[in-house]
Amino acid sequence: METYSISVLGADKKQYEIADFRARGTRGMNYANAIGIIVETEFMSRVLAFDTWQEQWGNTDRILTEKQNESVAMQTFSGLDLTKRIVEAQTDIDGMTAAKRCWNYQKGGLQWYLPCLMELGVLCAYRDEINKAMKEIGCPDECLLPTEDSDETWVWSSSESSQFNSWNVNFSNGNFNNNNKYYSNMVRAVAAFQPSPSLLTGEAKSNDCLHSDEALINMLRARGYKGELTKTLII
């Protein structure tokens, strides 16, 4: 049976159930008293920031991390490591990029990053549940994950598909695609809810990242994912 939980990370960095969070204080609490929404599944636990931006991925005409086809990108939990490497490689780009925007986000003292394709895919799979929780704590529409009614539905990931393109997700229908890095798409930041010590100290390497298993792929399949799949990969 599928197991997941949507809760709130309060400004005090404590985890609250939605109803408990709303009931706190004399007048209750809302998203202004929180750092983000906690999304916990059997496969990953992440904090999703309320803020949203529109940025280019940032083109340097070269691979900044590693070239990943869809099946590899969809089985690699590496957003923190990828974002760190992207930001370090984008020092020659003036102005903001998707990775810089997330990496430099300061809310709650967490290390925020641009989610990789698999992390973004899980957020898309639980879009409706996440949006329901956000509405219950008073989030305005601009905080919600995009739906079929949104003007902008493509969201950048930190996973690269080539020197010119990176992977993104269409939250209105769950499609995965790669777009030119010059394009401006929606950007959402995440942070690890219980990150490993190596990632927190900035010593992470590619082989420190977690890899998803067949159960996760099956869950995404059940929730509408129709892209490339292979069995578990060891990268």
Domain presence at residue 235: no
**Domain boundaries, position 170:** 4-222
Of 66-80, 143-157, 187-201, 221-235, the range with the lowest mean pLDDT is 221-235
Residue with the two structure tokens 């010590």: 197
Which is nearest to 124 in space by CA: 165, 177, 80, 86? 177
Structural domain total, the chain: 1
Which is nearest to 121 in space by CA: 149, 148, 147, 155? 155
Higher pLDDT, 234 or 161: 161
Domain presence at residue 229: no
Say which residues have a Cβ less than 8 Å from residue 106's Cβ, sequence separation at least 6. Answer: none
- What does the CA dihedral 165, 187, 101, 87 come to, rounded to 10 degrees? -30
How many other β-carbons are positioned within 10 Å of the β-carbon of residue 142? 9
Domain presence at residue 228: no
Domain presence at residue 227: no
Domain presence at residue 93: yes
Domain presence at residue 46: yes
On the question of pLDDT at 208 being above 50, the answer is no
Higher pLDDT, 213 or 108: 108
What is the pTM assigned to this prediction?
A: 0.86
Three-state DSSP class for residue 223: coil
Tokens encoding 28: 């209750």
Give the pLDDT confidence score for residue 77 in this predicted structure: 81
On the question of pLDDT at 202 being above 50, the answer is no
Cα dist. 234→43, 68, 76, 206, 208 in Å? 16, 13, 9, 11, 11
